[in-house]
Structure 1
Amino acid sequence: MQVCFEPGPFPSLTKNDYKAHDKLEVHPSEAESIKSVVHRAETLKLIEELTPGDHDAEELAAILYDINLQSLLWAHDEIAEKNFEEEYETQQLDSPPPPVFSSIQDSVRLVGIRKNKNEPLGITVKLDDNNELIVARIITGSMIAKQGLLQEGDIIKEVNSIPVQLPEQLMDIIKHSNDSIMLKIWPNLQRQSRKSDVFIKAHFNYDPYKDRLIPCKEAGLPFKDGDILEILCNDDANWWQARKVNGDSIAGIIPSRSLEEKRKAFVSPEYDYSKSFFCGFKRKKKIKYNTKNNKDYDKCEIMIYEEVIKMPPFQRKTLVLVGASGVGRRSLKERLIKSDPTRFAAVMPHTSRAPREGEVHGQGYFFMEREAMEEDIQNEKFLEHGEYNGNLYGTKIDSIFQVIRSSKMCVLDVNPTSLKVLKTSDFMPFIVFIAAPNSDVLRKMYENGRRATGYKRGGRPAEIKSEENFLEMVEESMQIEQVYKSYFDLTIINDDFNQSFETLQKAVDELSHETQWVPLNWVY
């Protein structure tokens, strides 16, 4: 009504409202009946005596059973009887308000549903603690959800006038029924509606038609690794209701985190259909970790779902490139920094070796005494470190922060075991996995690179690699993807260096003008 009293295109409507108001003040109308609730109950009794299948009667019953209409009729009778006395002083604050209806029987309702052979009803049922058959879940966007006549927690007493007590009975009756279904419902007066604001990023592929545990395959929601899902209900221990954020509004059920974690624990990786492998490759043999790396790989947690939040465009603090040795990540890093040195910068490494002739501390390397460097490594001041020709080399964490404080994006090419340390709000990384193509493409790229450099590298003859070297590179790349895939924001298959660079550059540029889904713990 507020719009009627605002200046604008409704002057006649405002005038009529004032006339109606004045008339009612002079000649107030009296209610024709003070027994609307009684008339409603009598009407429902007549409807129940009719032959089942009368659609007009079913529609009228559904209207009369509506909780809002019942409240309106009760309020009408109370006002008509002029029950305006305030009794709030006699009620205790912690006691519930008096019930509107005398008993639950008075609010039992009939719900008519029209079946569609090409569309599931959109509900799941279960037995509650009192062995009552209740509506466990209503799929958002389904036919029943659009009708709005059923609520989660409603108790189903009859289907087409046949009493039901078990989910199997309900399914059997619905299966053999005609186009229309009539449910007799007892409402759950304790239910509470709630809005979910939980969003997750999936880290595996899911196809409900391949899931032997899902209670109803048609109600399942398929999704792919990297999809953002909104969790609508996670009350069930094994199955959540969700929908895709960037897809249509149709919702479905997905396995809960605990269920999928149990499944991953018992399913061997080579038989897990949810794993994806790039370049169309599938392992023909089981990948075995190198003994020296077992400890590092074991530290990596299996990620099923990651809770995320949508953020406005912003520039990440670090760009992290990971990939197998020799796949080209270092060349991509160097080319990106050269393309815009005012925006990107690398970290200067530390070393324990003595400076060579002409070398200056802070230009190319930070030189340290071995004992001091070992102490800093022991105190976890290095992101990663290694030893070469008897000398220590490493990337210090303070050096990363120094680049960040210079308002440049710190570009890192690191061992994947460092990702767990980096994926925090302190570093806010954009992590790109540089994947190896198949061995034939690797061989051609390597030969082209050798020819372009005159078969030399660093002034020395370039190393000649064998077919076995390329196969090992592919296997290492697949191994990294399998273990650390949940950390990646982007995967680039480096089968063309120029194209890979353009893809990387475009992805980094988009961070500054497109919204981003980031881990929730970066914000809270």
Structure 2
Amino acid sequence: MPITLPLTKVAVDPDAQKLLTALPSLETRLPSKGPEIAFLRRFLRSRDLRLLLHVYRILSTSPQVRPVAEFAVSQAADVFCSVRCQEEDLRVQELLDILSKPHLQALLYTHDKISRSDYSPQVGPVAEEVDEDEAAVKVVRLIKSNEPLGVTIQLNEESGNIEVARVLHGGAADRSGLIHVGDEVHEVNGVCVRGCDPNEVVDILSRITGPVTLKLVPSNSKNGPDQRQCQMRVKALFDYTPETDTTNPCPEAGLEFRRGDVLHIVNQDDPTWWQARKEGETITSAGLIPSKQLQERNEMQRRAEAKGSPGLVHNGTRQLSPCRYSPRIPRQKKLRKTMYHAVQNGEYDTDEIPTYEEVEQYQPKPNRCRPIVLIGPAGVGCNELKRRLKASNPVHFLEAVPYTSRPKKPFEQDGKEYHFVTREEMESGIMAQRFAEYGEYKGNLYGTSVESIKAIINMGKVCLVTPHTQALKFLRQADIKPFIIFIKPPSLEMLQATRGAMKARVTKDGDVTQPFTQEELQAMVESSDKIEERFGHLFDHVIVNDNISNASADLIRTAARIESEPHWVPIGWSGQ
């Protein structure tokens, strides 16, 4: 005979049972409130609520419950101060670490509240008269360990008082919920800091280890206590080191990152300094990073100074305009130039200043492979690496057949080596922006069409492309989603050794090959540096080709990861 066991031994609370009994009558009188009443029914029947009410009745009705002490927080702070002078003892270090844990502090705080029966809802008396000149004061006590408090301060020039400039998300001050932006700092551990220089207050706080008692006057701003939490992820397009940034209000609270790091922006309330943490890191406290607008302004100033231009004037009367000329498809007379002769010096590179790019995670889709774009200076080995990757799986990796206006040779087939079209058709397609890249060589036009790349994508294959760097901006679209790999040469010394040992040769004047000269190797390294400086923020991966076997193995592994692992792409790409 089956036996039904009760789910819990905690009986239904009588008050909760009365409310449950009254719910049917409410449901008949409020027919439109069905979902709300259903929620109340589930809530009142929940096991967690019954346990909570059960504990509350025991605490409120059992006279035998008596605490050993009513000030556990104060006693813990006293112990901390008493033993911290013996930090060389491992047991003392462990005790200090335990007492510094926010969870233990919260437990001791809860103990004190219960010991004083301070757990019932209470409404304080309403003051009949308030002195307008007397400001409300709150006293906040925190335990300061090796972790910073997570606040920055500034001098309010109007009042002359020290106030909280920002509260770093996830820091000790933020977790306490008691310190807000705009709060005036009047005392630190009983020392009056009104009228002090902010650096003096920072020095006082930096020397304190253990309990920190702050006497604060709350901010009058209604928006001060609430900070809007942001969930935006961005890819950093530049390197940042807080210690070398003279504009950072608190370098100690800055977040260092490298180009390509994905950052989780948690707060953007400050228009000049955002709060962020590196994606995937478990550090709770956020760090300061320059906002997009601030970084753009700083970079414009740097470029202006590098060119010897006055740039930004401190009085604000003259500024560099953010509007810059952005050329479109060149006119027809510009087509008859040697391939990329003008753009190699970057004279058409007028893109915006790279700062941050909002990204999202992209899950690889079956039968929808991302094209692999190999970029690098001439002679670095992009074509050889492309050939080896294609040879690893000739059915899966394909190349887009280029177009040309030159006449077909007897042994060539249309659509195999090239798509042969007239010059007028090529120029018409260029003007219509149907080519990802194009150029002229020995009087004939050559180009790779966008539709050829998309056709391979629609076949479920991986399209391999080795374009000029200037084509990256056109290829980097949501409907193509290229994965851009930069093939970088090693140092000049290693380049000379490896290319000499492999007897590497460079193709010149058609089919003629010759060994690399010292000048060509030097030009390769210099060109690589320029490409990385100018387009590095667009790269998804970098392979150093110091050894062709190792570089090709890295490329094959990377190609496999592209199809099997999620990765970060610009916002909006994953939905297309």
**What TM-score results when the alignment is normalised by the length of structure 2?**
0.67
From the superposition, tell whether residues 365 and 156 of structure 1 become closer, same or farther in structure 2 (CA, over 3 Å).
same
For 1:439, which of 487, 492, 495 is the aligned residue? Answer: 492
For 1:496, which of 528, 547, 553 is the aligned residue? Answer: 547
* Structure 1: distance between partners of 2:277 and 2:240: 13
* Structure 2: distance between partners of 1:203 and 1:101: 58
Partners of 1:242 and 1:251 within 8 A in 2: yes
From the superposition, tell whether residues 18 and 446 of structure 1 become closer, same or farther in structure 2 (CA, over 3 Å).
closer
Q: 1:404 corresponds to which residue? A: 457
From the superposition, tell whether residues 349 and 174 of structure 1 become closer, same or farther in structure 2 (CA, over 3 Å).
closer
From the superposition, tell whether residues 491 and 221 of structure 1 become closer, same or farther in structure 2 (CA, over 3 Å).
same
Q: 1:263 corresponds to which residue? A: 298
- Give the stretch that moved more between structures: 394-403 or 320-329: 394-403
Partners of 2:372 and 2:463 within 8 A in 1: yes
1:4-403 equivalences under 5 Å are 10-14=7-11, 17=12, 72-74=121-123, 108-116=137-145, 118-126=146-154, 131=159, 133-159=162-188, 160=190, 162=192, 164=194, 168=198, 170-171=201-202, 174=205, 180-188=211-219, 189-190=222-223, 191-249=225-283, 250-267=285-302, 293-294=344-345, 296-314=347-365, 316-403=369-456
Q: Which amino acid aligns with 1:373?
A: M
* Structure 2: distance between partners of 1:23 and 1:399: 73
**Alignment partner of 1:262: what SS?**
helix
Partners of 1:71 and 1:100 within 8 A in 2: no
- Give the stretch that moved more between structures: 187-196 or 203-212: 187-196
* Structure 2: distance between partners of 1:163 and 1:210: 29
Q: Which amino acid aligns with 2:293?
A: S
* Structure 2: distance between partners of 1:463 and 1:251: 55
Q: Which amino acid aligns with 1:162?
A: C
Partners of 1:307 and 1:519 within 8 A in 2: yes
Partners of 1:317 and 1:409 within 8 A in 2: yes
* Structure 1: distance between partners of 2:191 and 2:497: 74
Q: Which amino acid aligns with 1:508?
A: A
From the superposition, tell whether residues 421 and 11 of structure 1 become closer, same or farther in structure 2 (CA, over 3 Å).
same
Q: Which amino acid aligns with 2:151?
A: I
Q: 2:482 corresponds to which residue? A: 429
* Structure 2: distance between partners of 1:209 and 1:150: 26
- Give the stretch that moved more between structures: 183-192 or 414-423: 183-192
* Structure 2: distance between partners of 1:198 and 1:9: 46
Displacement of 1:303: 1.0
Displacement of 1:113: 3.0
- Give the stretch that moved more between structures: 339-348 or 107-116: 107-116
From the superposition, tell whether residues 100 and 233 of structure 1 become closer, same or farther in structure 2 (CA, over 3 Å).
farther
**Alignment partner of 2:386: what SS?**
helix
Q: Please list every run of 5 or more consecutive structure 2 residues that lacks an aligned counterpart in the other structure.
A: 21-55, 58-80, 83-104, 307-339
From the superposition, tell whether residues 381 and 11 of structure 1 become closer, same or farther in structure 2 (CA, over 3 Å).
closer
* Structure 2: distance between partners of 1:295 and 1:100: 71
From the superposition, tell whether residues 495 and 11 of structure 1 become closer, same or farther in structure 2 (CA, over 3 Å).
same
Displacement of 1:20: 8.3
Displacement of 1:224: 1.8
Displacement of 1:292: 5.2
From the superposition, tell whether residues 295 and 511 of structure 1 become closer, same or farther in structure 2 (CA, over 3 Å).
closer
Partners of 1:113 and 1:182 within 8 A in 2: yes
Partners of 1:296 and 1:417 within 8 A in 2: no
* Structure 1: distance between partners of 2:429 and 2:121: 74
* Structure 2: distance between partners of 1:474 and 1:147: 53
Displacement of 1:329: 0.5
**Alignment partner of 1:345: what SS?**
strand
Quote the sequence identity (%). 33
Q: 1:91 corresponds to which residue? A: none
Q: Which amino acid aligns with 2:525?
A: V
* Structure 2: distance between partners of 1:115 and 1:441: 50
Q: Which amino acid aligns with 2:180?
A: Q
Partners of 1:384 and 1:395 within 8 A in 2: yes
**Alignment partner of 1:267: what SS?**
helix
* Structure 1: distance between partners of 2:18 and 2:352: 74
Q: Does 1:511 align with 2:540?
A: no
Quick one: higher RCO (CA 8 Å, sep 6+), 1 or 2? 1
From the superposition, tell whether residues 178 and 203 of structure 1 become closer, same or farther in structure 2 (CA, over 3 Å).
closer
Displacement of 1:344: 1.5
Partners of 1:121 and 1:142 within 8 A in 2: yes
- Give the stretch that moved more between structures: 310-319 or 290-299: 290-299
Displacement of 1:243: 0.8
RMSD after superposition: 4.3
1:84-121 deviation digits (Å, cap 9, x = unpaired): xxxxxxxxxxxxxxx999979897421123444x4432
Q: Does 1:486 align with 2:520?
A: no
Q: Which amino acid aligns with 1:387?
A: E
Partners of 1:347 and 1:403 within 8 A in 2: yes
From the superposition, tell whether residues 475 and 9 of structure 1 become closer, same or farther in structure 2 (CA, over 3 Å).
farther
* Structure 2: distance between partners of 1:500 and 1:24: 71
* Structure 2: distance between partners of 1:120 and 1:484: 37
Displacement of 1:390: 1.7
Q: Which amino acid aligns with 2:165?
A: A
* Structure 2: distance between partners of 1:216 and 1:398: 51
**Alignment partner of 2:360: what SS?**
strand
Displacement of 1:181: 3.6
**What TM-score results when the alignment is normalised by the length of structure 1?**
0.73
* Structure 2: distance between partners of 1:334 and 1:519: 29
Q: Which amino acid aligns with 1:135?
A: V
Q: 1:475 corresponds to which residue? A: 526
1:35-87 deviation digits (Å, cap 9, x = unpaired): xxxxxxxxxxxxxxxxxxx999xx989x89xxxx8993129x9xxxxxxxxxx
For 1:416, which of 461, 469, 480 is the aligned residue? Answer: 469
* Structure 2: distance between partners of 1:316 and 1:146: 44
* Structure 2: distance between partners of 1:195 and 1:262: 25
* Structure 2: distance between partners of 1:383 and 1:223: 33
Partners of 2:343 and 2:470 within 8 A in 1: no
Q: 1:90 corresponds to which residue? A: none
Q: 2:32 corresponds to which residue? A: none
1:332-391 deviation digits (Å, cap 9, x = unpaired): 112212221232211101111111113221121111111221222222221111222221
From the superposition, tell whether residues 484 and 8 of structure 1 become closer, same or farther in structure 2 (CA, over 3 Å).
farther
Q: Please list every run of 5 or more consecutive structure 1 residues that lacks an aligned counterpart in the other structure.
A: 1-6, 31-53, 78-98, 272-288
* Structure 1: distance between partners of 2:275 and 2:482: 31
